[in-house]
Structure 1
């Protein structure tokens, strides 16, 4: 089969199985298997796909129509222009989370030295920040070696060496360390929301998605504990769901955070919030 035939066939196949970005995904899969850029595929669309490549592509299509995210099929995604390796042990970094990175970068000045990334997963957030400012001392934590091995691999692959990776259940292994900025994209989906979106999320780790108390338990815990681990004038910066902005702002006020600011996503929903620790 030649390239243009396979593209037509695979696009139709994905479209029939309700994959909305069927044409783009067909090209992405082919580009990956052929190890050629997308521009090459369009320019040489009469080249032959060999039997081995065809078998791999067919397997990828079968996995995709079952709902498996394309990032897990390929083993990587792009975040903040970085190629981030992922696996089913970690969440796939979302475009909206780049807002969190942007807010953190705007807070960095000569007073900011130490940053804590709670629940680092693939390491995407910490790596994006470290790639911009190599003078920072970043600690990135998560709950298992299976998760942290992926983040460590990404750091090594990107030649980033100013991140310490540590196993910790939130703050449990941090001892008396304090930080200038604490950031987190914690679980914030309720059980009801998860089951409503289960078909889209079923391949991703549930523990990284679901939080008790209507999605607020982990956010509330982080806000409650983080004051102890922040230096004076330090910032707590969090991602949350588009429904949680009001209540998270209220919790930050109750916990005595100042200069609370909310930031919208590309659709205009508040998805990131920050608060500052200020002791008189």
Structure 2
């Protein structure tokens, strides 16, 4: 089968199975299997695809039609213009989470020495920050060694050396360390919402998505504990669900965070919140 014929076939099949960007995904899959650029594919429509490659493509299409995210099929995705390897052990980094990275970068100044990321997953957030600021010491924690090993691998592949990856259940293994910024994209989906979106989410790790108390339990825990691990004037920066902005802001206020600000995602929903620990006021 030639490239042009396969692209038409695969695009039609993906479209029939309600894959939204069916044409682009057809090209992405073919590019990956043939180890050729997209521009090469467009220039060699009459080139034949050999039998072995066709078998691989057939398997990939079957997986995609079942709803498996293309990032898991390929084993990587792009985040912050960086190639991040993923596996079913970790969430696929979303474009919306780049907003969290942006806010972190805005809060970094000459006094910023140490950053903590809770629930690092693939390491994408810490790696993006470290890529921009190689002089800052970042500690990135997660609960599973398989996850930590994947995050380490991503950092090594991108020559990032200012991140310490540590197994920890949130703050459990941090031994009262203090940080200038704490960041997290914790689980924030309720069980009810998970079952509503189960078709889209079923391939991603359940425990990285679901949180009790209508999706706010982990957020609440992080907010309630963070002051113990923040230096004075330190920032807590969190991603949350698109309908959780009001209640999460209340949690920040109850724990006496100051300079609380909320930020919107691409679709205009509250997505990220930050607050500052201030124990003393500046003297003027």
Please indicate, yes or no, whether the TM-score normalized by the shorter chain is above 0.5: yes
Q: Which whole-Å CA distance do the structure 2 matches of 1:176 and 1:8 have between them? A: 58
Partner deviation per Cα, 1:104-163 (whole Å, 9 max, x = no partner): 001111011100000000000000000000000000000011111110000010000000
> Structure 2 unaligned runs (5+)?
none
Q: 1:251 Cα deviation (Å)?
A: 0.6
Aligned to 1:178: 178
Q: Which whole-Å CA distance do the structure 2 matches of 1:253 and 1:20 have between them? A: 41
Q: Which whole-Å CA distance do the structure 2 matches of 1:269 and 1:204 have between them? A: 23
Aligned to 1:232: 232
Secondary structure of 2:140's aligned partner: strand
Aligned to 2:220: 220
Aligned to 1:87: 87
What is the alpha-carbon root mean square deviation over aligned residues? 0.4
Secondary structure of 1:220's aligned partner: helix
TM-score computed with the length of structure 1 as normaliser:
1.00
Aligned residues: 280
Q: 1:267 Cα deviation (Å)?
A: 1.0
Q: Which whole-Å CA distance do the structure 2 matches of 1:66 and 1:267 have between them? A: 27
Q: Which whole-Å CA distance do the structure 1 matches of 2:12 and 2:153 have between them? A: 36
> Structure 1 unaligned runs (5+)?
none
Moved over 4 A (4+): none
Partner deviation per Cα, 1:200-238 (whole Å, 9 max, x = no partner): 000000000000000000000000000000000000000
1:270 aligns with 2:270: yes
TM-score computed with the length of structure 2 as normaliser:
0.98
Secondary structure of 2:39's aligned partner: helix
1:67 aligns with 2:67: yes
Aligned to 1:119: 119
List aligned pairs for 1:244-255, cutoff 5 A.
244-255=244-255
